[in-house]
Structure 1
Amino acid sequence: MSTDAEQHQQTGGPDEAAQEWRRWHEERVLAVAAPYGPLALTGTHWLSDYPEGRIPAVPGQWREDGDAVVLTATAEDGIVVDGKPLTGEVRLGADSGPADDARVALGDRRLVVIRREGLWAVRDFDPDAPARHAFSTVDATPYDPAWVVPGTFRPYAEERDVRVANADGAERGLGLGGELAFTVDGDEHTLQVTVEEDGSLWAVFADATSGNGSYRFRFLRPGTPAGDGSLSVDFNRALLPPCAFADHFLCPFPPPGNTLTVPVAAGERNRLDA
């Protein structure tokens, strides 16, 4: 999802907003189905599980070394780093960009180095992944202007770190910078939100449709609040988390208090396969 889409604000009439949402949805489907989109992830391999440095189905030797991963390979391994065949050793930091920009390639595959809470892992993105070929579209509720509601961001005095379950079964920290308040059918609701480095907000939430008409939880990125904390909250752009497309993502589950009692019949609902 593009930054412009994430920071979308309602500026036109309902017809224009609906057309913009359709464009956003079409772009979102294309991004999901891209060669190195979330459907292409075939594995997340934690190096702590492989102390000998050998990852199944991934050539080379991978080992942790303080603030880096050391990758050792021979010409027979077929590994390319920064566009050049690797013969010998290279130190790798965590990849910060999209998978197709990863430093390490193996044919059409991209091997992405990540670090979470001090632990290193290698992600394997394969454009030929079965999930990518089976994918049809993202099922989403048609645009409804009623699900664009005014909101208010209330920052915490200090960021709070809570432990939440992740999609891979582990618990990890989730930083929360405040709460987002909004009204649905005359009742106020709140979501605890993360404040990103650029000031935009991100929420992990469930609602009365979760697991019953929509995926078990979703993401919401309402953009950046104004100086007074006000912003527009567009649930038409509720997102499926990456783990809805591949089992190897580490998506956090909603923190306590982020399960809405109302059904949010808006936004993305489920992945559909052909």
Structure 2
Amino acid sequence: MSTDVTDVSGVSLTSVQKWERWRERRAATVSAPYGPLSLTGTHWLADYPEGHLPDVPGVWRVDEDGDGVVLTAADGDGLTADGRPPGPVREIRLTADSGPVEESRIAAGGRRLVVLRREGLWAVRSFDPESAARRAFRGIEATPYDPDWTLPGRFRPYGTSRTVRVENADGRERGLGLGGEIAFTVGGTEHTLQVAVEPDGSLWAVFADTTSGKGSYRFRFLRPAAPAADGSVTVDFNRSLLPPCAFADHFICPFPPPGNTLPIAVPAGERQVLPG
């Protein structure tokens, strides 16, 4: 049975209505001009020693100390840096972008070029609002809200953070930091998922279940809110998320770490991107 809650406007909402609003926000975020559907390329500079990236103007190189990227650009490249064309040939030093894509320093017409760093390696991502994936997007298939999949759980922090090596969607192996696990019960059996702890205290799990790849995407994300002081946490599988790589092949999402493939079906949450 849905629980009545009140939103910031003072309007009483049921759990189903709150979930429907969450779904609307998700669709808007995903389909935004610089949302995940707009990613058209992730180019690792180590793969392009001459600095010429596919369909990306300018010359891009890692600086000598390895702490940034140097972009060499001129008027003819059609780039702007901080909203201004570079003018005569100019070198621009860049660090990893940490804000929204639309606030990245470098633009190429309507595209945004975002500098990325992972485990000491540098890349440039290209986000294009005119991408084929964004134009073809029809929505996200999701299971209707089911209160039985909103579960009480318990967060068990690790004494020290751990890093495990996991394969990523681009075929490369990278470290995944883990700060603890959440425990919850389904059908009388306890299950656990290892989670990362975000800077704001919220949790992040990468998980799969017996529906993964068979009716739902091959893995999904779960983002519980920060646990209470006693460790209690709500594990709401109705808000299971498709990872960014479900929307564009150029993301490098981590696969579930060992132990995060549940031996049960989780018929809740987002399932897959609707075909265009």
- Show the counterpart of 1:91: 93
Following superposition, the deviation at residue 40 of structure 1 comes to 0.5
Do the aligned partners of residues 244 and 206 (structure 1) sit closer, same or farther apart at CA in structure 2, a change above 3 Å counting? same
TM value normalised by structure 1: 0.94
Following superposition, the deviation at residue 98 of structure 1 comes to 1.9
Residue ranges of structure 2 left out of the alignment (5+ in a row): 7-11
- Show the counterpart of 2:76: 76
- Show the counterpart of 1:27: 25
Find the aligned partners of 1:45 and 1:153 in 2 and give their Cα distance: 37
- Show the counterpart of 1:189: 191
**Aligned-residue CA RMSD (Å):** 1.3
Find the aligned partners of 1:84 and 1:264 in 2 and give their Cα distance: 50
Select 1:173's aligned residue among 175, 180, 185.
Answer: 175
Find the aligned partners of 1:271 and 1:89 in 2 and give their Cα distance: 41
Find the aligned partners of 1:112 and 1:271 in 2 and give their Cα distance: 25
**How many positions carry a matched residue from both structures?**
265
Q: Summarize the alignment of residues 224-243 of structure 1 with structure 2, pairs less than 5 Å apart.
A: 224-243=226-245
Instruction: Tell me which amino acid in the other structure corresponds to 1:228.
Output: D
Select 2:51's aligned residue among 42, 50, 53.
Answer: 53
Moved over 3 A (4+): none
Q: Is the 2:4–2:13 contact (alpha carbons within 8 Å) kept by the matching residues of 1?
A: no
Following superposition, the deviation at residue 273 of structure 1 comes to 2.6
- Show the counterpart of 1:12: 5
Find the aligned partners of 1:15 and 1:199 in 2 and give their Cα distance: 26
Following superposition, the deviation at residue 12 of structure 1 comes to 2.6
Instruction: Tell me which amino acid in the other structure corresponds to 2:166.
Output: V
TM value normalised by structure 2: 0.94
Which string of whole-angstrom CA distances, capped at 9 and with x for unpartnered residues, describes residues 147-172 of structure 1?
A: 10001000111111100000000000
Following superposition, the deviation at residue 15 of structure 1 comes to 6.5
Instruction: Tell me which amino acid in the other structure corresponds to 2:137.
Output: F
Residue ranges of structure 1 left out of the alignment (5+ in a row): 1-9
SS at match of 1:84: coil
Find the aligned partners of 1:193 and 1:99 in 2 and give their Cα distance: 26
Find the aligned partners of 1:24 and 1:237 in 2 and give their Cα distance: 8
Select 1:161's aligned residue among 160, 163, 177.
Answer: 163
Instruction: Tell me which amino acid in the other structure corresponds to 1:50.
Output: Y
